[in-house]
Amino acid sequence: MKYKTVPALPDARISTIGFGCWSLGAGSGWRDSDDAESIATVHKAIDCGVTFFDTAPVYGFHGSETLLGKALAGRRDQIFLASKCGLLWDDSRTTRRDLSYQAVIADVEGSLGRLGTDHLDLLQLHWPDHATPLEETARALRRLLDEGKIGAVGVTNYSVADTLALARLVPVSTYQGLYNMLERNTDSYHAIPLEYQAEREILPLCLERGMAFLPYSPLFQGLLTGRFNADSKFGSNDIRSANPKLAGDGYRRYVAVVDELRPIAREAGVSMTHLALAWLCRNPAVTSVLCGAHRPDQIADNAAAADVELSETTLNDIREVLETNNL
């Protein structure tokens, strides 16, 4: 494993491969996740030197945090623990954004209970809530920082303008956004319009301000592992069945690009998964690549990508394929 520190989090030793915990636990919404296997995956991640763990109340509708809390018993101090706030849901599990003062405080109190800890190392605002003034959200964040219940604040899926506006009210240390080889400046996630372009806007912003950049869906939900083909289908119990980019002609075009990347991985002597993750890790703006995994062998494989170095030739070959395909 390799580690990075960033000026905005000077005391944190952050593994370049992080663990995105959305798929932890039965009922996560990711096909066949299983509690015992999820706990073993968390332990394997720690054993492989992964320090950055990313979860959220909404993942598995409390399931991810509850499972992670169980798995971290006695090992909490070995990791940098990040959760989120601001996504609530109703009885039918339809989500809505709420970053009001009360909602932020209540979210964090709930997360601390489920995770079995007295503080989060990082609290991230999950999606912008344009109905709540930033000043109100910032008031809750300042209270949580003062009380020591959170160590730092981050945003995810924010525009540059809103990130900077919030940073004028409270220190913003991290940015988490959708970024992988095939989605470098994409405009949507699961049909939700995005208010940022990751490579063009956010990476330079993070470098300039000394903030951590945390790419999510680094494997394009598994597509960049090279395991899928044009006929792959996702079950109705799999969150990926709700991603329009993984269906129809658009999906087939992405699969064709992965097929063009395969020989580059072969030539470099690495797997497709390692090609995709090492391509992210080598970027100076990228701090911790938030890989999802639901089995110990997957997180061990992902962790090993931290030590893969890609040559200039390989990076040029990748660039050519992406540019030829307008990606």
Ligand X SMILES: NC(=O)c1ccc[n+]([C@@H]2O[C@H](COP(=O)([O-])OP(=O)(O)OC[C@H]3O[C@@H](n4cnc5c(N)ncnc54)[C@H](OP(=O)(O)O)[C@@H]3O)[C@@H](O)[C@H]2O)c1
- Interface positions with ligand X (CB under 6 A): 20-23, 30-31, 54, 156-157, 176, 216-222, 225, 227, 273, 290-294, 298, 301-302
**For 201, which DSSP code?**
I
**For 284, which DSSP code?**
T
Nearest CB to ligand X, comparing residues 143 and 205: 205
Return d(Cα 215, Cα 206) in angstroms, integer.
Answer: 12
Return d(Cα 31, Cα 60) in angstroms, integer.
Answer: 12
Please say if 101 is a catalytic residue: no
Burial class (CB in 10 A: 0-12, 13-18, 19+), 12: buried
If one counts every other C-beta atom within 10 angstroms of the C-beta of residue 323, the result is: 9
Q: 61: which 2 tokens?
A: 């509708």
Rounded to the nearest whole angstrom, what is the least distance from the CB of residue 156 to ligand X in the complex? 4
Write the single-letter amino acid at 255: V
Q: 188: which 2 tokens?
A: 């949507």
Nearest CB to ligand X, comparing residues 18 and 151: 18
Rounded to the nearest whole angstrom, what is the least distance from the CB of residue 214 to ligand X in the complex? 8
- Residue whose tokens read 């018993």: 73
State the helix-helix crossing angle for 296-304 and 35-47, rounded to 10 degrees: 20
Q: 189: which 2 tokens?
A: 């996630």
Nearest CB to ligand X, comparing residues 305 and 310: 305
Nearest CB to ligand X, comparing residues 27 and 139: 27
C-alpha distances in Å from residue 229, one per residue of 58, 246, 254, 296: 30, 11, 10, 24
Rounded to the nearest whole angstrom, what is the least distance from the CB of residue 93 to ligand X in the complex? 16
Rounded to the nearest whole angstrom, what is the least distance from the CB of residue 195 to ligand X in the complex? 12
Rounded to the nearest whole angstrom, what is the least distance from the CB of residue 312 to ligand X in the complex? 25
Nearest CB to ligand X, comparing residues 220 and 279: 220
Sign of the CA dihedral 110, 21, 87, 241? negative
Annotated active-site positions, please? 59
